[in-house]
Structure 1
Amino acid sequence: MSKYDYEDAVKQLQESGSISLEDFKKLAYDDLNELLEEIKVWCLYANGAADKLPKESKKKKKKKKKD
């Protein structure tokens, strides 16, 4: 069974425009926290345009830059 993470949640939001509570429960706390913060910004500044939701976690981008 594959792990449900930030990127999976974003993909689901972009495709369907929604995410279930069961899927929220599958996310790690850090991914969930980051996703909720991104959704706030996305709704406020991008008017919910699915293509403007960041596809990759900012935390993972920072890790890649450090390596």
Structure 2
Amino acid sequence: MSKYQYEDAVKQLQESGSIGLVDLKSLPHDDLVELFEEIKVWCLYANGKADKLPKESKKKKKKKKE
């Protein structure tokens, strides 16, 4: 069984518009903090449009570039 990660949470939010507390609890702390920050920005600047939510973690993008 694979571990629930940032990308899984984003996909679930895009598909259903919601995420369960059990799923949030299973996210690693760093991913959880990043997801909450992205949701804040998404709600403020993208008017909650699901297609505007970043599909990939910014931290993981930085690691790939290094």
Q: Identify the TM-score tier after normalising by the shorter chain.
A: over 0.9
3-state SS, counterpart of residue 48 of structure 1? coil
RMSD: 0.2
TM-score normalised by the chain length of structure 2: 0.99
Structure 2 stretches lacking a partner, 5+ long: none
Deviation at 1:15, TM superposition (A): 0.1
Could you list the runs of 5+ residues in structure 1 that have no partner in the other structure? none
Please state how far the C-alpha of 1:49 moved relative to its aligned partner: 0.2
Aligned position for 1:54: 54
Residue of structure 1 in register with 2:37 after alignment:
37
Equivalents in 1 of 2:64, 2:21: separation in Å? 30
Normalising by structure 1, what TM-score?
0.98
The 4+ residue runs of structure 1 with deviation greater than 3 A are: none
